[in-house]
Amino acid sequence: MTTGPHGRRKRLLWLAIPILGAGILYGVLASRGPSNDGARSKAVPVAARAAKADATRMSEATRLSARRGDTEAIVGAYAAWAGDPSSVAPRKLLLATLLSEEDIAKKLSSLLAAIEADPTPPEQDPLWEHLVQSLAKLWKGDTATGGMDLVVAERRPRARRALISSFATLAASPALLELNGAQRQTLTETMIDLAWHVPASQRPEVTEALRKLGGNDLADIYAGRGVTGKDGHVLESEVAYKGALAETQAKIAEGSNPAQ
């Protein structure tokens, strides 16, 4: 391993996640009324109310955006509006506000708090891909090294998943080449360590990340291919070994042939 626990603990000091305070996690309850013959006549008023609610939330998001320092209120609103399709634009504005913070530790703290406060499953979250891409863009230079330490230290499940996805995204992108050799090695080791603890739905992206970082054999072994020999899959390293062995044996046989 290229990165020891003491080094990681030291670097984590600059990424310490402050407690934002109680009351930022909100549950969202939704209910549907039974259909009736007057549904069509009510369509216009319902649409009007939805548009008004959307405008109200955008107005509130704009107001909160102007108060960048009130992180708890921004995170609270982001969580409270989760699950409502009409609130995607206002919530995206709130995320942009959190991302505009110049201090990287504060930015990560508030962004991860917002991610964790949203109870929506990632597969159903319309902003999940945006969140992951936003995190992935932060991993440059020393911030990338600190982020690898942070993903190991993070214990909140949704925040941890977002961090892992962001590094999987980085591994599969041209931006990987911007990391130095030591960082790429650390990222490979970090992804290997984390790979066995991700939910099943996240395994495909981790597999591809390992393929980019360590080659096809690493990804295949993680996916359980070619391990027992019962699935018919042969690892590339085994193919190369058998090929080299056959070539060597052929040369030995050729050298011992009296006719040569």
Location of structure tokens 């006549």: 41
What is the domain partition of the chain in residue ranges? Answer: 5-24+49-222
Alpha carbon distance 131, 225 (integer Å): 32
**Burial of 257 by CB count in 10 Å (0-12 exposed, 13-18 middle, 19+ buried)?**
exposed
What pLDDT tens digit does each residue of the chain (260 aa) get?
445 555 665 555 555 544 344 333 333 223 334 445 555 545 445 444 555 556 789 999 999 999 878 999 999 999 999 988 889 999 999 999 999 999 999 999 999 999 999 999 999 999 999 999 999 999 999 999 999 999 999 999 999 999 999 999 999 999 999 999 999 999 999 999 898 889 999 999 988 998 888 877 766 767 665 455 555 555 555 555 556 656 676 777 676 665 55
User: CA of 199: how far to CAs of 33, 86, 205, in Å?
Assistant: 35, 29, 11
Q: For residues 251, 255, 258 and 260, what is the CA-based torsion angle, rounded to 10 degrees?
A: 80
